[in-house]
Amino acid sequence: MPDLLSVAAARETVLSVVKPLTATTLPLDKSIHLVLAEEIHSTGDSPPFSKAMVDGYAVGDANLGEGEILQVTQEIFAGAVSHTPLLAGQCARIMTGAPIPTGTAAVVMHERTRPVDLTANAEKLANASFSGDQPHTIQLLESTKAGQNILKKGAAISAGQSLLQPGQPLSPACIGLLADQGITTVAVHPRPTVAILSTGDELVPIGQEPVGAQIRNSNSHLLQAAIHIAGGEPRVIGIARDNLPELRQKITLGLNADILLLSGGVSAGLLDLVPQVLQELGVRKVFHKIRLKPGKPLWFGVYEPENQIAPEITRTRTLVFGLPGNPVSSGVCCELFVKLAIAALRGLYVEKAISTQPALLANDFIHRGDRPTYFPARLEKRGAHIWAMPLKSAGSADLLAYALAEGLIAFPAGDKEYFPGDNVEVLPLF
Ligand code: AMP
Ligand code: MG
């Protein structure tokens, strides 16, 4: 099969026609899991003032010994600023997050002190006001070290510093970082919309009892779930029958998304009409059929406005994947190609190479055929190695084997007998 594209060449081809979706500005809380389209600089120091990292006592001397006795002359709560400097022999009861008073050398944890002589000192401290029954004199149970339990102004972030780069996916931590900087809107790439259309005269919706030679449309659901996890916005169109008018009508609807995923109807059957309809509707074929098992019939093309024939279509560009109908083939093509396209549209940095991992084969396996095979397997980490156990599989319609798989073993093309302990590459799933 020298004329068919390899998986690597097909991935490269897909990437060559995909660019990130035009950025849009969104409120921070609407940008979770989206990808930044701008560089973010800090708006100020973090923390904005030097603060106590524990509940305890701010002391003025960095070299106090264990057993030292200090007068508590003030209390500083989070949110309050003390204008009273610390003098020798004094300390301030300070709460976590409160700004340290002028002259603070260290903060000693509350647990590393003990109250002493509560009454004898009351007179000296008559002018100080205290909440509750805090001790007026404490004894240190440890010596102090300069800077101890203090987070200095700007220790984490200095004003104007570059924080995040375009291409950064916004994790909850990133959202927190931006919130801390007072950044309320961000430029991000939107989620690609992905229309999903299953084709086949034999298909019924999953809520309907199949009769005779009918089967349930599982692909729409599998693909919808995969798109959701990949960060796309699935739009399920449903089922198109294997006839030209219905295919034309429903494919036209699907061309109003960033990606159209079709399942079925791209092989060599007499009613595999999808390639013909796509071409008719002006979708430019980029490739059809690749060197892959399962997934050989994969069709990929691009729809652009210059070859637009349907006036109701407003999208500037739609990537079209015609996935083989067998559920495992559909799923594997989604893993290898559709997810890549979604990642690139989302603005993520993506590697052309598939990120497989080295593993050791746990069982015997005989591979036959001139196509590389992605075979469902359990993965188990033992010591320094991942062991891959091929699952019992009845092939590309065996959803159970695929459902139980934690990864796919990528066996290279060619007949070969494998033995336990042989080196293989695996593509982890999820
Ligand atoms: P096709 O690619 O249309 O030749 O279909 C290949 C195989 O996949 C056939 O056995 C179909 O019945 C099955 N198939 C096609 N579409 C779906 C679907 N949406 N859900 C489950 N199986 C399907
Ligand atoms: Mg079919």
pLDDT for res 236: 98
Report whether residue 295 contacts ligand 1, using a CB cutoff of 6 Å.
no
Report whether residue 396 contacts ligand 1, using a CB cutoff of 6 Å.
no
The string of pLDDT tens digits covering residues 359-382 is 999 999 999 999 999 999 999 999
The string of pLDDT tens digits covering residues 225-266 is 999 999 999 999 999 999 999 999 999 999 999 999 999 999
Report whether residue 215 contacts ligand 1, using a CB cutoff of 6 Å.
yes
Distance (angstroms) between ligand 1 centre and the Cα of 267 equals: 10
Nearest CA to 290 out of 405, 373, 368 is that of 373
Distance (angstroms) between ligand 1 centre and the Cα of 426 equals: 26
Distance (angstroms) between ligand 2 centre and the Cα of 298 equals: 13
Report whether residue 325 contacts ligand 1, using a CB cutoff of 6 Å.
yes
Q: Where are the alpha helices (DSSP H) in 143-273?
A: 172-180, 218-230, 244-254
**In a 10 Å sphere around its CB, with 0-12 CB exposed, 13-18 middle and 19+ buried, how is residue 412 labelled?**
exposed
Distance (angstroms) between ligand 2 centre and the Cα of 25 equals: 42
User: How big, in percent rounded to 5, are the helix, strand and coil portions of the chain?
Assistant: 20, 30, 50
Q: Is the pLDDT of residue 73 over 80?
A: yes
How far is it, in rounded angstroms, from Cα 108 to Cα 164?
35
CA atoms within 13 A on the CB side of 241: 6
Q: Is the pLDDT of residue 123 over 70?
A: no
> Which of left, alpha, beta for 145 (phi over 0: left; psi -120 to 50: alpha)?
beta
Give the predicted TM-score (pTM) of the model: 0.91
Give the mean pLDDT of the chain.
Answer: 94
Task: Provide φ and ψ at 247, rounded to 5°.
Answer: -60, -45
**What average pLDDT does range 299-313 have in this prediction?**
73
pLDDT band at 292 (very low <50, low <70, confident <90, very high): very high
